[in-house]
């Protein structure tokens, strides 16, 4: 169950961050999903921790996957660059998350 809460936290954080990009253009109504998304993020992350997920694992995965998804989704949504160097960074993030998960299970 903790993994479902973590997945929800990641999706809420990415949605809030993408909404922040829209809100930054002066669209005031987009502040509601920004605030709501970040609030939901911290509630869901705390529920994942409460269900026994290790803090280092939860935070590492939450932050890394959030960064990777935000970068990937910013390309089609906002026509932001996704260079080969950025793609390599995303691959390294995934490798780091896997290393944290494997290390935590030992």
Q: Could you please report the per-residue DSSP string of 21-75?
A: HHHTTT-GGGHHHHHHHHHHHHHHHHHHHHTT--HHHHHHHHHHHHHHHHHHHHH
pLDDT band for position 86 (cuts 50, 70, 90): very high
pLDDT at 106: 66
Which of 79, 78, 82 minimizes the C-alpha distance to 22?
78
Q: Identify whether the C-beta of residue 15 lies closer than 8 Å to the C-beta of residue 33.
A: yes
Kindly tell me if the per-residue pLDDT of 75 is higher than 70: yes
How many C-beta atoms lie closer than 10 Å to residue 94's C-beta?
13
Summarised one tens digit per residue, pLDDT across range 8-62 is: 999 999 999 999 999 999 999 999 999 999 999 999 999 999 999 999 889 988 9
The predicted model scores a pTM of 0.89
How many C-beta atoms lie closer than 10 Å to residue 88's C-beta?
10
Kindly tell me if the per-residue pLDDT of 96 is higher than 90: no
């Amino acid at each position: 169950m903790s993994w479902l809460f973590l997945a929800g936290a990641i999706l809420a954080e990415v949605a809030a961050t993408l909404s922040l990009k829209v809100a930054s253009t002066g669209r005031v109504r987009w502040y509601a999903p920004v605030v709501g998304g970040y609030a939901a993020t911290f509630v869901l992350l705390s529920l994942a921790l409460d269900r026994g997920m290790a803090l280092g694992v939860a935070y590492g995965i939450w932050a890394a996957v959030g960064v990777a998804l935000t970068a990937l989704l910013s390309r089609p949504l906002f026509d932001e660059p996704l260079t080969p160097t950025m793609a390599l960074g995303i691959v390294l993030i995934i490798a780091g998350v896997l290393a944290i998960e494997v290390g935590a299970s030992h």
